[in-house]
Amino acid sequence: GEKYYDFSDQRFFRLVQLKWELIFEVLKLNYDFIIYSDTDVIWNKSPIELVSNRLNENLNVEILIQDASVDFGQKRLCMGFVAIRNSNGAKNLLEEAKNLHHLNSSLIASYGDDDAMSDLYIKNSDNKIELLPQILFPVGILFNLYSKKSTYPGLSGIEPYIFHANFVIGLKR
Q: What is the pLDDT along the chain (173 residues), one digit of tens a residue?
A: 556 555 555 555 566 678 999 999 999 999 999 999 988 898 989 999 999 999 999 999 999 999 999 888 899 999 999 999 999 999 999 999 999 999 998 888 789 899 999 999 999 889 999 999 998 998 877 766 666 666 666 666 666 666 656 655 655 55
* 95-133 per-residue burial string, b: 16 or more CB within 10 A, e: under 16: ebbbebbeeebeeeeebbbbbbbbbbbeeeeeebbbbbe
Rounded to whole angstroms, the Cα distance separating 62 from 126 reads 11
Provide the terminal-to-terminal Cα distance of the chain, rounded to the nearest Å. 52
Q: Return the pLDDT at 152.
A: 65
Rounded to whole angstroms, the Cα distance separating 146 from 124 reads 34
Rounded to whole angstroms, the Cα distance separating 98 from 47 reads 25
